[in-house]
Chain A
């Protein structure tokens, strides 16, 4: 869809309303968190450990403090409140105390009147380290009780979640076809462009105001305040311009540090990480080792899955527990499997901490189970799409957790749709950009083979396993300049996904007004929850709708008072109150008569339950979303280079709220999956990151990402607002295994590790 078409499309729900920050971003005028400025501010920098595991024998800051222009140098001793924080476990020190557990762990802070001064002073802090052998073997951490512990006496296993269904002994006897595989997923980075940054401003009440790019203001606030020794209300957060998130801003980075320095110096403190530092400033996608065994009948029906998934959580827990929950509960994929024995582990090591990234535990499992499905197909002599259709879940199916899918799940039809896409034409040889190697000029068509692959994924939407997941919205309707205008206020983080646009679309539609303003997100209103788990359209969308409905009821009451009669079934359209018979009975301006109507509502999705710790049974998820990909690739089989010719996706989104924004989410998610399939990996050796730059950590460019074909279905989920289904993550799951399947199809290589390297294809 073009922007022009979108412009014609209007701004109500279902239209391709344009995002207000779009033009600003592409013209370089958008103010990101790294652009924040206060006239009297000082600059904060962080001293980090060069070692992945070491005892700290001493910290001497005296030389650093003596540097002219330095305002403060802080260590763990200067943390006035709680010394530890964390999303799920408070296991991460604000500043390292007696040991460091990963390369890049913050040890000390400096504030100075110029960033270069601060960096020079940082270099004069003397830290004594007794360097220890890093613990980097995740599988031993999971399974070997004699492996040394990363955290004192605490087990290295952050979470072990088993799934047990059926009778495995019987299943093994019955299965006619057995396929096994061991898979490995490298460490992917979210690679957002806007580095961790923010500005902390000390307040007159002894508190602090923090302007920061984050994904969830309130969970930041809840972690920051105790460490500062302040009541929650004295730490106020406002969302600054976010340059991408993808999970990497779920955990704290510089938030507490900037606040500590601001409170110590009495000056606003700005911290901006550089690109290299950013690689150490946020968690990454858990690298994983996965061992799968699938048993099936000769006609390709799954009998059992036996699997072990080990996720390396690195030095601190972050969201590892929830990632394990996803990998376990979604670990057999969107298939009916009567017998399952699956064990998912998330562990501590001295590798870089890992946590949330788009797809969250479902991505790693999807690569393994989809690779297995292709093996089942081959073993049974079936088409890969056919074997998936034969086993696909549908509405009413029971998942391995025992949860019944009580919403549309038209997987078989989606797979048929993917197969029915027309094949892209053969690649011409005129333009090398269309060929593997691109402008590197490596082939002009010789040695190139085409391959096609399919994959499907299942992703949970919203927070799971009994979490009290909610969002809050405040909506105010008043007359501005004679026109009715709505103000929507939430704490929901716009991280690029288009939530500001969507909130305005909802208010416009529900309140029948043209003029809608979305207030900056801050902690002055209740929590919106995280911009994670593809949940904000559902949750904050649901909250804005609920608040709008409450405002609408009040306005109709005011209209009834004014008109002296009841208006059953009335609604608001085009700035008017419209009675059930379709006739406008009053304008909003008349009804409001200079007053404002304001309502705040909390929205909750239906309850979920925990997974049984021994059997993994439970109704743990709110909603399921599905995407199917077909990938077509050309592979230079001499040099091992891959050109993805086309990615085609079929996704059921329940209801399309903004076609243009949705298309962008599907393209972006698919591109991130392409990166994991073919090039993106943080190279870690002995706990040390070897490629912390965008020169050496490769993300796809426009030359690597092919055109996309999409087919979007709207089978409404009766439990969700507007019937919608979260859309941001599912494409990230299935794009990776579809591409790898296509490369296998072209080359016949097993390809059990992602990202696939040239040497896995031809030069191994």
Chain B
């Protein structure tokens, strides 16, 4: 670890000035990601400006609906907040599926948004990595790339964004409030993150010295009907291979609106606009309770296995529509040597999340 200067920010504006005026300066929140990177030599700041104690630790209802989430709100507190649980279950679920309780107790909202990729080459300073050192090349392209991107990648970078929370925020039309040298502004979360292109060193559109102060959630009635599912190889404490956040609105037996985003597939949380478009108008059969396995293979659940709902086959057409919607989004997916499995896995997860939401929808009416 290199020597560096540490300063505790006195107020937001001075924090921004301090970082903006020094190319080697960075903000420090909880440090759950940054401190690892300091040790690994991935981040090499010469100044850390600690903003973790600035007055951004509130979750407040906004006039006209919605919530303002302070940038320093801890992940655990956000996940447990009654209004979040009630109106934005996808966000609570995403937060709780991330990291460990100890990390969630410390990690902040802004820090979660700005955590960096778990790509092994990004973290190994002895290997070329365009994200860490622009122009050195991408080691993952021809290397170990099982966990890497299948959507929106470039020849310069195939890393994926690691956040669960950001995937949920992406379907909630969240806006990120930023304080910069030029004052305050808001950035829709769908515009916060970049695709790698030829500048994979830049994860977001933020400028050096921009400080995230809050995340605004709009009042979004369909968000009360939302869910997050995450596929990983052990039951907890692991990053997503694939995840899906979704919210749906059903009127008169058909999907009238839907928001879906994928995690684990791209350099940013991947808002699935094409899938959303394909979902609108999909007729919801009386009981879309069939499993995908039943729909595709007609194989029965093994005796003693967990019960399926055992409902009629009327759901099959819905499942096929859901699958078609996923395929519409994934049509442009380009697998690397080791990650082709992510495409069917994403499709199956997508179908599973939507099917679950539609079943709940059916149950509540």
B349 at the interface (CB under 8 A from A): yes
Interface 0/1 of A298-319, CB less than 8 Å to B: 0000000000000000000000
In B334-357, the 8 Å CB interface with A consists of 340-345, 348-349, 351-352, 355-356
Nearest residue in A to B347 (C-beta to C-beta)? Answer: A763
Let me know if A698 and B238 touch, CB within 8 A: yes
Which chain B residue shows the least CB distance to A440?
A: B230
Q: Is the CB of B143 within 8 A of A763?
A: no
| A703 contacts partner chain B, Cβ-Cβ < 8 Å | yes
Question: What is the CA–CA distance of A641 and B349 in the complex, to the nearest angstrom?
Answer: 12
- Looking at the complex, which of A444-452, A467-475, A481-489, A598-606 is the stretch in contact with chain B? A444-452
Say yes or no for B45: interface residue by CB 8 A criterion: no
In whole angstroms, what is the CA distance A443 to B229 when docked? 8
**B331 in the interface (beta carbon within 8 A):** no
Contact between B304 and A439, CB atoms less than 8 A apart: no
**B1, B232, B303, B304: which contacts A116 (Cβ < 8 A)?**
B1
Q: Which residues of A contact B118 (CB under 8 A)?
A: 695-696
Q: A690 to B341, Cβ gap below 8 A? A: no
Q: Is B207 an interface residue (CB 8 A)?
A: no
Q: Decide yes or no: A438 and B236 within 8 Å by CB, A639-B352, A762-B348 being known contacts.
A: yes
Q: Are A704 and B304 in contact (CB under 8 A)?
A: no
Q: Is A92 in the interface zone, CB < 8 Å from B?
A: no
Which residues of chain A from 415 to 443 have a CB within 8 Å of any chain B CB?
423, 425-429, 433, 435, 437-443
**Which residues of the partner chain A approach B235 to less than 8 Å between Cβ atoms?**
433, 437-440, 643, 701, 703-704
Interface residue B108 (Cβ < 8 Å from any Cβ of A): no
- Tell me which of A378-386, A560-568, A678-686 binds B: A678-686
A637 within 8 A of B: yes
Given contacts A447-B292, A639-B349, are A701 and B234 in contact (CB under 8 A)?
yes
State in angstroms the CA–CA spacing of A638 and B349 once bound together.
Answer: 8
Q: Which residues of B contact A569 (CB under 8 A)?
A: none
Q: A426-B304, A695-B118 are in contact. Are A441 and B230 (CB under 8 A)?
A: yes
Interface contact B305-A634, CB-CB below 8 Å: yes
Cβ of A338 < 8 Å from any Cβ of B? no
Contact with A along B74-96 (1 / 0, CB 8 A): 00000000000000000001001
Q: A435-B306, A445-B308 are in contact. Are A690 and B144 (CB under 8 A)?
A: yes
* Cβ-defined contact, B345 with A450, below 8 A: no
The residue on A at minimum CB distance from B94 is A441
A441–B89 CA distance with the chains assembled, in angstroms? 12
User: Is B230's CB under 8 angstroms from A638's CB?
Assistant: no
In angstroms, Cα B344 to Cα A757, docked, is 14
- The answer to whether A440 touches B97, judged by C-beta atoms less than 8 angstroms apart, is yes
State how many angstroms separate the Cβ of A706 from the closest Cβ of chain B. 11
Q: Which residues of A contact B298 (CB under 8 A)?
A: none
A759 within 8 A of B: yes
Interface string of A621-645 (1 = CB under 8 A from B): 0000000000000100111110100
Task: Give complex CA distance A117, B126 in Å.
Answer: 21
Could you give, for residues 193-230 of chain B, a 1 whenever the CB lies within 8 Å of some chain A CB and a 0 otherwise?
Answer: 00000000000000000000000000000000001111
Instruction: Check: B231 CB closer than 8 A to any chain A CB.
Output: yes
Identity of the chain B residue whose Cβ is nearest the Cβ of A449 in the assembled complex: B302
B1 contacts A119, C-beta separation under 8 Å? yes
A442 to B309: give the CA distance in the assembly, Å: 16
Contact string against A for B residues 54-84, beta-carbon threshold 8 Å, 1 for contact and 0 otherwise: 0000000000000000000000000000000
What mask results when residues 317 to 341 of chain B are scored 1 for a CB within 8 Å of chain A, else 0?
Answer: 0000000000000000000000011
Q: A429-B307, A445-B308, A764-B341 are in contact. Are A685 and B144 (CB under 8 A)?
A: yes
Would you give the 0/1 interface string for A99-130, flagging 1 where the beta carbon is closer than 8 Å to chain B?
00000000000000000100100000000000
Q: Assess whether B233 is in contact with A429, with CB atoms less than 8 Å apart.
A: no
* Residues on the B chain within 8 Å of A444, using CB: 356
CB-CB under 8 A from B228, the residues of chain A are 441
Chain B window 282-320, contacts with chain A (Cβ cutoff 8 Å), 1 for yes, 0 for no: 000000010111000001011111111100000000000
Q: Which residues of B contact A433 (CB under 8 A)?
A: 235
The answer, yes or no, to whether A515 is at the interface (CB within 8 Å) is no
What is the distance, in angstroms, from A134's C-beta to the closest C-beta of chain B?
13
A135 at the binding interface (Cβ < 8 Å): no
Interface residues as binary, B219-262 with A (CB distance below 8 Å gives 1, 0 otherwise): 00000000111111111111101000000000000000000000
With known contacts A639-B349, A639-B352, A764-B341, A450–B234 Cβ distance under 8 A: no
B126: chain A residues at CB < 8 Å are 50
With a cutoff of 8 Å between Cβ atoms, the chain B residues found around residue A695 in the complex are 118, 237-239
B97 touches A445 (CB 8 A): no
Q: Does B345 contact A442, Cβ atoms closer than 8 Å?
A: no
Q: CA–CA, A360 to B40, complex, Å?
A: 33
What is the predominant secondary structure among interface residues of chain A facing chain B? loop
Is B230 within 8 A of A442, CB to CB? yes
- B300 shortest CB reach to chain A, Å: 9
Asked if B362 lies at the interface with its beta carbon under 8 angstroms from chain A, I say no
**Across the two chains, which residue of chain B brings its CB closest to A425?**
B304
**B96 proximity list for chain A (CB < 8 A):** 439
Q: Cβ of A762: which chain B residues have Cβ within 8 Å of it? A: 344-345, 348
Which residues of B have CB within 8 Å of A435?
A: 306
Q: How far is the CA of A244 from the CA of B343 in the complex (A)?
A: 40
Shortest A669–chain B CB gap in Å is 19
CA separation between A438 and B238, bound complex, in Å? Answer: 12
Cβ of B125 to closest chain A Cβ, rounded Å: 9
Query: Smallest distance from the beta carbon of B215 to chain A beta carbons, Å?
Result: 22
Which residue of chain B has its CB nearest to the CB of A451? Answer: B302
Nearest-neighbour CB distance to chain B for A244, whole angstroms, equals 19
Task: Looking at the assembled complex, report how far the CB atom of B33 sits from the nearest CB atom of chain A, in whole angstroms.
Answer: 11
Q: Kindly state the separation between the CA atoms of A638 and B303 in the bound complex, as whole angstroms.
A: 18
Q: Please give the distance in Å from B195's CB to the nearest CB on chain A.
A: 24
| A758 at the B interface (CB under 8 A) | yes
Min Cβ gap A717→B in Å is 38
Please report the C-alpha to C-alpha distance between residue A428 and residue B238 in the assembled complex, in whole angstroms. 24
Task: Decide if B352 touches A447 in the complex (CB within 8 Å).
Answer: yes
Q: Encode A145-181 as 1/0 by CB contact (under 8 A) with B.
A: 0000000000000000000000000000000000000
- Tell me if B120 is interfacial: C-beta within 8 Å of chain A: yes
A752 at the interface (CB under 8 A from B): no
Q: Which B residues lie within 8 Å of A427 (CB)?
A: 305-306
Q: Which of A650-686 contact B (CB under 8 A)?
A: 678-679, 683, 685-686
Q: Which residue of chain B is the closest to A691 with respect to CB atoms?
A: B120
Complex: A439 Cα to B348 Cα, angstroms: 18
B128 to chain A, nearest CB (A): 12
Asked if A746 CB lies within 8 Å of chain B CBs, one says yes
Asked whether A441 and B345 contact (CB < 8 A) given A448-B305, A696-B118, the answer is no
Q: Please provide the chain B residues from 174 to 206 with a CB less than 8 Å away from any CB of chain A in the complex.
A: none
Among A276, A443, A678, A690, the most chain B Cβ lie within 10 Å of the Cβ of A690
Closest 4 CB pairs of A and B: A438-B235, A759-B341, A445-B306, A703-B235
The chain A residues found within 8 Å of chain B, CB to CB, are 50, 116, 119, 276, 423, 425-429, 433, 435, 437-451, 634, 637-641, 643, 678-679, 683, 685-686, 688, 690-691, 695-696, 698, 700-701, 703-704, 746, 757-759, 762-764
* Other A-B pairs, 17, CB within 8 Å; known A116-B1, A446-B291, A446-B309: A425-B304, A426-B305, A427-B306, A435-B306, A437-B229, A437-B232, A437-B235, A440-B231, A441-B93, A443-B352, A446-B292, A447-B291, A448-B306, A449-B305, A641-B231, A683-B120, A704-B234
Q: Can you identify 26 A-B contacts, CB atoms within 8 angstroms?
A: A116-B1, A119-B1, A425-B304, A428-B306, A439-B236, A440-B232, A442-B229, A442-B231, A442-B352, A443-B352, A445-B308, A446-B292, A447-B352, A448-B301, A638-B292, A638-B293, A638-B351, A639-B345, A690-B143, A690-B144, A698-B238, A703-B235, A703-B236, A762-B348, A763-B342, A763-B344
B residues lining the A interface (CB < 8 Å): 1, 40, 93, 96-97, 118, 120, 124, 126-127, 143-144, 146, 227-239, 241, 289, 291-293, 299, 301-309, 340-345, 348-349, 351-352, 355-356
